[in-house]
Amino acid sequence: MWSSPSLSGPKRPLIVVGNKIDLLQDFKIKWLEKAKEALVKQLPRRANVLHTALVSAKTGYGIEQLITALYKLWEYRGDVYLVGCTNVGKSTLFNALLQSDYCKTKAVDLIQRATTAPWPGTTLNLLKFPITRPEGWRVAERTARLRRESAAELRHIQEGKSQSTPQMISHVNRTFDHGLMNKYTDEDWEDPFALPKLRTLKKLRSPGSGVDPADPMFAQSKWLYDTPGVITSDQIINLLTTEELMMTIPREPIVPRTFQVWEGQSLIVGGLGRLDYLSGPANIKMTVLAASSLPVTICWVGDCDQVYQHYLGSEVLAVPCGGPHRLKQWPGLHAGQTFVLKGTGWKESCADVVLSSAGWIAVTAQQDSMNQLQAWTPNARGIHVRIPPVLPTAIRLKGVRLYDSQAYALYNSYVKKQGWKS
DSSP string, 252-306: S----EEEEEETTEEEEETTTEEEEEEESSSEEEEEEES-TTS-EEEEEHHHHHH
Average pLDDT, the chain: 84
Buried b (16+ CB within 10 A) or exposed e, 365-391: bbeebebebbbbbbeebbbebbebbbb
Worst-scoring range by mean pLDDT, 162-171, 374-383, 394-403?
162-171
Give the residue, 72 or 109, on which the prediction is more confident: 72
pLDDT at 204: 45
Give the residue, 404 or 416, on which the prediction is more confident: 404
d(CA 320, CA 365): 31
Worst-scoring range by mean pLDDT, 53-57, 165-169, 267-271?
165-169
Q: Decide if pLDDT at 9 tops 80.
A: no
Task: Tell me the pLDDT tens digit for each residue of 316-332.
Answer: 999 999 999 999 999 99
Class of residue 301 by CB neighbours under 10 A (exposed 0-12, middle 13-18, buried 19+): middle
For the residues 169-183, what does the mean pLDDT come to?
Answer: 69
Q: What percent of the chain has pLDDT over 70?
A: 80
Q: Decide if pLDDT at 415 tops 50.
A: no
pLDDT at 41: 93
pLDDT at 122: 54
Number of residues assigned to the chain: 422
Task: Tell me the pLDDT tens digit for each residue of 182-214.
Answer: 444 444 444 444 545 545 444 445 444 466 666
pLDDT at 372: 98
What 3-state DSSP class applies to 135?
A: coil
pLDDT at 15: 95
Residue type, 206: S
pLDDT at 265: 98
Residue type, 66: L
Q: Decide if pLDDT at 147 tops 80.
A: yes
pTM: 0.84
What 3-state DSSP class applies to 211?
A: coil
Q: Which residues make beta-bridge pairs with 51?
A: 15
Q: Decide if pLDDT at 249 tops 70.
A: yes
